[in-house]
Structure 1
Amino acid sequence: MKHLFIPFLLFLSTSSTAYAQKEKLNIIVFIADDVSWDDLGCYGNAQVNTPNIDKLAKDGLKFDNFYLTASSCSPSRNSIITGRYPHNTGAAELHTTPPLDMVSFPELLRNNNYYSVLAGKFHMGPYARRGFDTMYEHHNENGDGGEESWVSSLKERPKNKPFFMWFASYDAHREWGPNKFSGTHQPNQLEPPFYLSNGDETKADLAKYYDEIKRFDFYIGEVVNELKTQKELDNTLIIIMSDNGRPFPHSKTRVNDRGMKTPFVMHWPNGIKNKDVTSKSLISAVDIAPTILTLAGIDSPVHFQGHSFDRLLTEPDLPFRNYLFAEHNWHDYEAHERMVRNKNYMYILNSRPMQPQNGPLDAVGSPSFKDLEILKDQGKLSAIQADVFMVPRPHEELYDYSRDPLQLLNVASLPEYAETLKSMRKILSEWMEETSDNIPENLTKDWYLKKAGLIKTEFHNVRGEMPGQKLNATKNNAKGAF
């Protein structure tokens, strides 16, 4: 009897393990390249065609106040994948990478029996490669938009493991070429944002941008269909987001909502029971890594600076953060800005006020920027359109969300806001000190002239001192104000 009982126990143990493994949460992160929070239909944009994302939002949970830590591709993605602020990753500037010993959340998933895949854009350095079993990172594998390996990744995965997929499109990064989605949006039917020109070239520019968002949306729909075919949709957490604002003047590389706020949609039928729900809670991109690990039943390491917002999936009205922090460092041009936001105010510290905020190189070289230059020469720019050419800029900016949700009126100099200014300044200063941020004198300088075209400066390919480098910020795990 004893000899029969032991195999029976082994059978139960094996069956239980297999069942638990099968029921383990699957995770897919769709991350767009250079797409603003308000350029999806579910966020109120009636001009763009995003039916698949809109449906996932309607059947899931949408966040209205989700902020990135940088409005610049690689610093933003490094921050997301490590759960750390850009200066604490050692890769605060564009096209720099964290140290090899810095652990990413995909690596922790992989170490806990997840099969992990990256398909699409990847520029996070060798440290992140440890997090993926399979990588499709070349254009010939991923196609023009970066999405063509997504469905095949799902089909070819081992079926005896939970999976994590980092599906990163090239859409909607410039340059924009013709593709099968070209012409989805007609320029003459579009109205550009008020801070851009209403000219024909800007409308055509915007139409091509929306066409690439449409392609991103289409392939998300294809992945959802494959999940349905495999009967995995209900047990898969889908996240849809972007790495920074649209590649137009006034957006990408800015630390305000036009640059830092990201669309963020979560869909998970087994875990998000309320449908068509919006959370107004303040959330930072550093909170993504600990949240994913919590939902996967894995403890977060001490070096994560974010906090899990898993409770919001069932109680979306709960308050979460009191403060959000973001930064802008070198991205083609010298820069050092820091931002803190609470429920009512946004404060920006600009340590390089003599630098105009034209945007990154791809925005400066765009037809939309040229249209603004034409208006400038004609003396027809509105005050907000002229903002990208302003020099010197304010050293401090303060915006009152109750009166100015679009951050158009800087109230830092108004007497009635003196105490608020002092308070927000103190909060940012304490965060910088606690997390070992600093303002180096020898920052990386402009690599290009601030006009259209790839005209290099004498400083091209020369790096200065990275923010936080002198203070050994990569070893500082302080979370800062929450």
Structure 2
Amino acid sequence: MYAQTARPNIVIFIADDVSYNDLGCMGHPVLKTPAIDKLAKNGIRFSNAYLTTSSCSPSRVSILTGRYPHNTGAAELHSPIPPGQVAFPKLLKESGYYTAQAGKWHLGSSGIKPDGPFLDAFDRVGGSHADGGGPGGEQAWVEYLQQRPKDKPFFMWFAAQDAHRGWDNAPKPVQYSAQDVQVPDNLANTAATRTDLVRYYEEVSRFDHYVGKVVDELKAQGILENTLIIVMADNGRPFPRNKTRMYDEGIKTPLIIHWPAGVKGRNQVSSSLVSAIDIAPTILEVAGISECASVQGKSFKTLLAEPTAKFRNYVFAEHNFHSFRAYERMVRTDKYVYIENGLPEQSNVGATDIMGGAAGAELKKHYLAGKATPLQALIFITPQPQFEFYDHSADKDQLINLYGHKGYKAQQQHLADILETWKKETGDDQPEDLTPDWYDRWDNKALPEKGKRGTMPGSLQNATSIQKPGPF
């Protein structure tokens, strides 16, 4: 129906559990990601791109729908996607694109096997580690490109299982030693923690290796010039204080866009605030498709021509059930971060895979032995801060909570008001019977409540039918 050159091909690479600063081009001093770095050098690197949640399946559903998690009706980990939610690849497919998904599915209640209402958004699905995709779910990517119809533009959703725990023992393209790693201050600096980080590094570099293979194939087919490539992640690294959390190493995503035919200039950096819900409308505009009424995000296509232009004033994010009961909300500007915790009486350890890993286990040992620093101990203590406020310009890692500080009273109140407006306009709410903990927060053992679902945030306000996006 459409000539292949009429509209751009589109490829999204989405890493699994990789923090924004764990790529070479995003400033990591050790991790080697030459393929992604090259895309950034010849494209645009976004330094202030934020997810709407730091949790696998809700984040992916949010990206594909352009809607906040509580507006999708699938705000919690592994929660089913209700009928009526529109994934943008379906709109691409209906307009003449060939659409395919390869790698990790994890959309709705299904983790590996493609299933659910988003199946019809793709012409082809599969390619996980259980379906010929190799241990990282990446080995079918090049095959998908080679076997696609050659008379249509295409959209590929290439979702890796790297770098999600548990680590596999397959040979890695890049190896690291325990001496290479940089242990963050919030972790215990032990041999076991260092080894844990080595395994993580190796899976990030494997993701990069397969990104490079796809780029080589696009070049070999002579279509790299008019293929829009996006590299991003679904949430932060699977370590304490990162994945599930509202701090930058949990909620901020690397975002690299490479499109020689459509991006002016090379090696550009955009510090404009961008939300993950803005990706869907941007792709639709690039593909020449009219706006979708259900999308709450806005297209940032103008930033591809003018990376320094002003875009958003605010980004918003939410932390809902992921192994444990949760309700946190965040609003951020280019300078300040404001977080509200609706359940401060509980600890905030994150998720079972985090605390079940070696770094989490070492942190627990340190805490029990009385060796943990205040930063390291913070995830275990109760009560947790109900309100947090950070000056990102002076505290990029959100380590110094300034909430209540007189010098920031006006800024705190402004963001509290903005967050309240966002909740009201988008239909967010905190039900009394939220999904409970499925596991013990200390020893990770399953509880009798495992499998029990409570009331989904937003459901009391019928948020799935709300299109208002809140403040922009």
- The equivalences for 1:135-154 within 5 A come to 135-138=125-128, 139-154=130-145
Match of 2:26 in 1: 43
Q: Is the 8 A contact 2:173 2:206 kept in 1?
A: no
Match of 2:71 in 1: 88
- The equivalences for 1:40-439 within 5 A come to 40-125=23-108, 126-138=116-128, 139-181=130-172, 184-439=175-430
Deviation at 1:209, TM superposition (A): 0.5
Deviation at 1:104, TM superposition (A): 0.8
Q: Is the 8 A contact 2:78 2:106 kept in 1?
A: yes
Deviation at 1:352, TM superposition (A): 0.4
Identify which of 464, 467, 471 aligns with 1:474: 464
Deviation at 1:374, TM superposition (A): 2.1
- Give, in whole Å, the separation in 1 of the partners of 2:162 and 2:237: 11
Q: Is the 8 A contact 1:356 1:388 kept in 2?
A: yes
Richer in helix (by share): 1
- Give, in whole Å, the separation in 2 of the partners of 1:211 and 1:401: 30
Q: Is the 8 A contact 2:4 2:150 kept in 1?
A: no
- 1:153 is aligned with what amino acid? Y
- 1:165 is aligned with what amino acid? M
TM-score calculated relative to the size of structure 2: 0.96
Deviation at 1:91, TM superposition (A): 0.5
Q: Is the 8 A contact 2:316 2:330 kept in 1?
A: yes
- Give, in whole Å, the separation in 2 of the partners of 1:21 and 1:143: 30
Report Cα offsets for 1:21-58 as digits up to 9, x if no partner. Answer: 43310000000000000110111112111111111111
Higher-Rg structure is: 1
Comparing 372-381 with 235-244, greater Cα deviation is found at 372-381
- 1:92 is aligned with what amino acid? A
Q: Is the 8 A contact 1:78 1:97 kept in 2?
A: no
Report Cα offsets for 1:262-311 as digits up to 9, x if no partner. Answer: 00000011111211111000000000000000011111211100000001
- Give, in whole Å, the separation in 2 of the partners of 1:381 and 1:183: 32
Q: Is the 8 A contact 1:182 1:208 kept in 2?
A: no
SS in 1 for 2:378: helix
Q: Is the 8 A contact 1:365 1:451 kept in 2?
A: no
Deviation at 1:113, TM superposition (A): 0.3
SS in 1 for 2:100: strand
- Give, in whole Å, the separation in 1 of the partners of 2:261 and 2:173: 36
Deviation at 1:137, TM superposition (A): 4.6
Report Cα offsets for 1:440-470 as digits up to 9, x if no partner. Answer: 11001100011244x1112110000000111
Runs of 4+ residues over 3 Å off in structure 1? none
SS in 2 for 1:259: helix
- Give, in whole Å, the separation in 2 of the partners of 1:32 and 1:122: 12
Identify which of 1, 9, 15 aligns with 1:32: 15
Deviation at 1:471, TM superposition (A): 1.0
Deviation at 1:182, TM superposition (A): 7.2
Deviation at 1:394, TM superposition (A): 1.2
Identify which of 440, 446, 450 aligns with 1:456: 446
Identify which of 413, 417, 438 aligns with 1:447: 438
Deviation at 1:214, TM superposition (A): 1.0
- Give, in whole Å, the separation in 1 of the partners of 2:59 and 2:174: 31
- 1:406 is aligned with what amino acid? D
- Give, in whole Å, the separation in 2 of the partners of 1:409 and 1:105: 39
SS in 2 for 1:136: coil
- 2:464 is aligned with what amino acid? T
SS in 1 for 2:244: coil
- Give, in whole Å, the separation in 1 of the partners of 2:361 and 2:291: 47
SS in 2 for 1:364: helix
- 2:118 is aligned with what amino acid? A
- Give, in whole Å, the separation in 2 of the partners of 1:78 and 1:405: 28
- Give, in whole Å, the separation in 1 of the partners of 2:53 and 2:457: 13
- Give, in whole Å, the separation in 1 of the partners of 2:334 and 2:163: 30
- 2:69 is aligned with what amino acid? P
- 1:325 is aligned with what amino acid? F
Aligned identity (percent) is: 49
SS in 2 for 1:447: coil
Deviation at 1:417, TM superposition (A): 1.7
Query: C-alpha root-mean-square deviation of aligned residues, in Å?
Result: 1.2
Deviation at 1:196, TM superposition (A): 1.2
- Give, in whole Å, the separation in 2 of the partners of 1:51 and 1:130: 35
SS in 2 for 1:221: helix
- Give, in whole Å, the separation in 1 of the partners of 2:363 and 2:45: 33
SS in 2 for 1:141: coil
